[in-house]
Amino acid sequence: MPSLRPIHNRLRRLAGLDLAEFFDTAIERWEICPAEDVEILPGIWLPDQIDHIAQTEFGGLPDILAQMQGNPAEHTAPTMAYRFRDVDFVDGVLYARGAERHLRQRRRSGMIYPKPRENLGGALYESWIGNRWFGNWLLNDCLAYRLAEAAGNPVTSAPARGGHTARYEELLGMSPRRIGDVHFDELILFDDLKNNSNRRARAQENRARLLNGRKLTPLPGVFIFRGASGDARILENEAEIAERFETEYGFRTLYIDRHSAEDMAEACGAAQMVVGVEGSQLAHGVIAMAPRGTLLTLQPADRVTTSLKLLTDCWQQHYAMVVGSGTASGYRIGWDQIQRTMDLIEDKRSKNSS
C-alpha cells in the first residue's frame, strides 16, 4: 500500500489547515545538556565596516551586530533529544502524525508515494543545512553524529560520497547506516544547535579525533583558497591577498582541490589563524584550529553574514571579518583594510596573553 501521508498533509494545507509541529509529536523527550550561561567572544572588525554593508544573508543587520558584539554570559538553551514512533521517511521528508520535517529537497512531484520498503529504528543526525552545505555538514551534522552514536544505530539519507567528505567520515570514526525511503518504528532526533558546554565538548572531541597521532609544527596561519568553488563569491584579488599573507605574515596557502583532509587538518591544527573568503571551505580550518585561534573571513558587501561565527563560538575561537567593495559575483578588498584588521587581531591576542 502506498504512503498516504504526503498527500494527507498536502490536502490539509490546501484546506487552509496548519500542520502540527514535528517535535510536538514526540512520545518522549529528554535533556542531554541543560540550559546554561556561556561566554560568546566578541567579533573583530574595523569600526567603519558597518558602513560597507550593502546587504546581509541569513539574518538582518541587527543579527550581525548582536553576533559581533558577543556576550560574556549568554543564556543558551538546552540540547534536547526526542523519541518518535511510526514515522515515514519519504523523498527526503519525515512524516509523523500530521507533521512533517524536511531534510532535503524533494525529487518527486507526485501526490502519492510508494510505501517505504523496510522498517527500522535509529537515530537520525542529518539536517537540511548540512545536506545543502559542506561546512554545515562538517561542523553541525558531524557533531550531532556523536549524539546519534551514543543513542545507538546512527542513520543518514546522505549517499556515500568521495573526496573530503568520505575521508572526514573515516577520520571522525563515522559509520552510519545509509537509508532510502523507510518506515521508522522508532526514531530519535536531536535539537543540537545551541553552543552549550556539551556541544563544545563534542567539538573538541572531533578535533582530537581529527588530529590524533599527527605531529603539528606551529604555523602563524593558513589561507584557504576558494576560487570559483561552491556558490559564487569571487574575490577578484584573492591570489594577490594569499601571496601577501605568505610573504608578510608567513602563512601557508591551502587549496581545496589539491590538498587532502589530512593536509588541511595538519596545517590548520597548528595555525593561530585561518583566513579566506567566507564560505564552506573555511570549515576545514574551524574544525582543526585550536580554541582562541582566529578565523578571518573576507566578505562581499552584498552578502555579509556571521553564520561561521556561530560555529567559531562552538569551537571557542575568535571571529573577524573584512567587508570588501563589490558584489558576490566580483568584489575586491584593499590590503590596507586587511593590515588594519590584522593589527586589531594582534592587539586582541596580546591583551589575552598578558
Domains (ranges, CATH) in the chain?
5-30+78-209 (no CATH), 38-76+217-353 (3.40.50)
- Other residues' Cβ atoms within 10 Å of the Cβ of residue 307: 18
- Other residues' Cβ atoms within 10 Å of the Cβ of residue 201: 12
Residue 183 has pLDDT above 50, yes or no: yes
- Other residues' Cβ atoms within 10 Å of the Cβ of residue 274: 28
Query: In the predicted model, what is the mean pLDDT of the chain?
Result: 91
Rounded to the nearest 5°, which phi and psi values hold at 318? Answer: -80, 150
Give the per-residue pLDDT at 1: 45
Does the predicted model carry a pTM greater than 0.95?
A: no
Give the per-residue pLDDT at 20: 80
Which residues, including other chains, have CB under 8 Å from residue 114's CB and lie 6 or more apart?
2, 3, 181
Give CA–CA dist 44/100, Å, rounded. 40
Give CA–CA dist 194/200, Å, rounded. 9
Give CA–CA dist 276/297, Å, rounded. 5
pLDDT in tens, 19-60: 789 999 999 999 999 999 999 999 999 999 999 999 999 899
Q: Mean per-residue pLDDT for 121-132?
A: 95
pLDDT in tens, 216-271: 999 999 999 988 776 778 999 999 999 999 999 999 999 999 999 999 999 999 99
